[in-house]
Amino acid sequence: AFIASEDRRFRQHGGVDGQGIARALFSNLRAGGVVEGGSTITQQLARIVFLSQERSFDRKLREMRIAQKIEDKYTKDQILERYFHLVYLGSGAYGLADAAWLYFSKPVDKLTLAEAATLAGIVPAPSLYSPLENPKSALERRNIVLKTMAEVGFITNAQAELAIASPLGIKTSPLKRLQRQAAYFTDYVEKELPQLVPTKTLEAGGLVVKTTLNPRWQSEAEEVVERAVSRYGQWQNFQQAALVAIDPKNGQIKAMVGGIDHDKNQFNRVTQAKRQPGSTFKPFVYAAAIAAGKSPYSNYKDAQYVVDGYKPENYGDRYSGREVSMRDALTSSLNVVAVQVLVAVGWNPVIKLAQDMGIQSKLLPTYSLALGASEVNLLELTSAYGTFANNGVHQPVYGINQVLDRNGKVIYQANFKPKTALNKNTAATMTWMLQDVVNSGTGTPAQIGRPVAGKTGTSDKARDLWFVGYIPQLVTGIWLGNDNNKPTNGASTMSAWMWRQFMLEAIKDIPYQGFPEPNLGKRPVTLKAEPIKPRRTYFTQTTNNRLASSDEGSPTEGPIRRRRRVRVSREQTIVRSNTSEPSQRRSSRRRTRTAPTSAAAPRPENTAPAAAEPITVPVTVAAPDTRSVPLPVTPPPDVTPPAPPAERR
């Protein structure tokens, strides 16, 4: 159909057809206007690929010369193939496959004779002969093509008459390239591609990009994010959510949802949004401490703590006043202990370890670093947790596995070198501690019936709600919040609940596997601590109503009549954070007897779900066996957040 309509002597000429040009001139003179062009299919291909639509004698000469060069290099079938891939066929359709789907909702090899002639008839004037724009003109043009095919002997007269008698038969479907699946992930891949493939290769087109995405998991991730925002977002005052799932063994991205409004806003909250991670950053602090030789049972005081004027606060400003182990402090997400551990280990070791594990954003050496004051994005945070899951080995994340050129030749193959960031036993110890967070701490809504390790996180005024958790074969991160950084009314337990919904589907494809058992005895020191030497630190306790309940649930009785103060020699200037660190000004003439006030730190974690939390999970967990890894917990009943107030009424 195309040869009959556009270039009858395509198989005979060498790129430029003198007879065709003479015939076109004669036809145009007889008609008193342009009714037939003299360009061959090869000339049209030359114009599409190398030239513009400028109408000039110079452009025509260049077009003819390029066509001759194309004919020298490629076979006739190769020229037809490239032409069919690129020719514009109206209404946004480029190439036969696009047009066949747009106008007839079928692949090319299912087109009828009449449908093929319809497409061939569009070429001279795509806007005029598009079946969607001008069906009457398209029908007339189709019939001309069919008669021409009969004239040159491609079909019989009977075939032509039968096809002419058939209706246009338009059955439209949206262009497949506009039916974007995994839109945020596709955008991410398109931005990564130019860094992997030369620009000229991209411009030539015809590439096949093989990605790491798991389509079933991606579909489930999109559904979980959409359901959470649509059903609970208005009630808890968050408008956006993001999710990313990564295989920690190789760094492959298996699912990515960057928001719920890609049609309106292509901003990817997984890769582009930098937010305060809150308590999800604490595992890097504790990991540095374990690597530096500290035990999970090393004790720190759970009391009001002030260091160089910076005063971290536990959730609800409650404190037990007792010595607690690092493991218990992580399980209950005690802010004051996290800062004490940071002081004992030092800023530099913590920052370097976090970066080795996958954090790429700049981390500031401030006391509030322990509470997640430095902003990161969800992808790098989830990738860093994958290092825990992969026994301390960090695998760089990626979404493009392989790129093939138009001939099927591999021009790019992913091959990233892993990096050991943590000693294997240190990673196993941290996983053991993070399991306790899910078994009996702030992450209980994330239980799925098999061993899970993870951590919740909440920034100041609940602006960011996080949960990052993992099993040995998959690590998934969840974020909830607002693009304008407005506070929410929710809690990170909502993120943990979303994580559970996604993972319950994902683990249907993943066999059961337990975590490695840590050696909690004598361990080698693999990281050198650089303790911070504050100018001034002290603990202070006020009245009993500011103290937390004890482990048995009874509050500490009696007012606190003594205040313990510890002074440390002044040795270095502390770097201050504009948003989280307090003012360091002190009067040299006056000695104050009370704890100095400070700027608010990122909002601490809730150590136990309160009545106002969106999710309450009834879980009974036995006292952990400190000699071995806890057994997998029994999955709780299917937990859903409480209905919004309107639905309750």
Tell me which residues are annotated as active site: 6, 279
The CA distance from 434 to 425, in Å, is 14
Burial of residue 171, with CB atoms counted within 10 A of its CB: 0-12 exposed, 13-18 middle, 19 or more buried: exposed
Residue 279 carries which side chain, given as an amino acid letter? S
The neighbouring-strand residues paired with 540 are 304
> Quick one: how far is CA 546 from the chain centroid?
41
Length of the chain (residues): 649
DSSP bridge partners of 419:
394
CA 229 to the chain's CA centroid: 17
Q: Are 237 and 465 in contact (CB under 8 A)?
A: no
Q: Of all helices (H) and strands (E), which one includes residue 538? A: strand 537-540
Q: Angle, to 10 degrees, between the axis of helix 378-389 and the axis of helix 347-357?
A: 90
200 by Cβ neighbours in 10 Å (0-12 / 13-18 / 19+) ranks as exposed
Q: Return d(Cα 516, Cα 424) in angstroms, integer.
A: 9
Taking a C-beta distance cutoff of 8 angstroms, is the pair 300, 322 a contact?
Answer: no
Q: How far apart are CA 522 and CA 524, in angstroms?
A: 7
* Token pair of 614 as six digits: 């969106």
* CA-based radius of gyration for the chain: 33
